[in-house]
Amino acid sequence: MKTLKKGLKTISLFLSGLILFQSCSAYKTPVTLQQAAQEEKAVKIVTVDDDTYNYKYIVFEDGQFYGVKDNPGEDVKFPIDAEEVADVMMKNKTIPTWVIIAFIGAVLVVGVAMAATGIAMN
Q: Answer yes or no: do 45 and 4 share one domain.
A: no
Range of the domain at 3: 1-24+94-122
Query: Is 69 found in the same domain as 41?
Result: yes
- In this structure, the answer to whether residues 40 and 59 fall within a common structural domain is yes
30/87 same-domain check: yes
Beta 52-55 vs 43-47: how paired, if at all? Answer: antiparallel
pLDDT tens, residue by residue, 5-35: 777 777 777 777 767 666 566 677 678 889 8
Residues 30, 86: Cα–Cα separation, whole Å: 9
> Average pLDDT for residues 48-59, to the nearest whole number?
91
How many domains does the structure of the chain reveal? 2
Residues 105 and 71 in one domain: no
Residues 70 and 30 in one domain: yes
Residues 40, 72 share a domain:
yes
Per residue in 98-109, pLDDT tens?
A: 777 887 788 778
Instruction: Determine the Cα–Cα distance for residues 112 and 122; give it in Å rounded to an integer.
Output: 16
Torsion, CA 29, CA 34, CA 39, CA 42, rounded to 10: 60
Task: Specify whether 106 is located in the same domain as 81.
Answer: no
Predicted pLDDT of residue 23: 59
More confident residue, 39 or 93: 39
d(C-alpha 38, C-alpha 31), whole Å: 11
Are 104 and 68 in the same domain?
no
Task: Summarize the confidence of residues 83-94 as an average pLDDT.
Answer: 84
Report the pLDDT value the prediction gives residue 95, as an integer from 0 to 100.
64
- Please state the rounded mean pLDDT for residues 37-51: 89
State whether 14 and 33 are in the same domain: no
**Is the same domain home to 70 and 47?**
yes
Q: Pick 113 or 66 by higher pLDDT.
A: 66
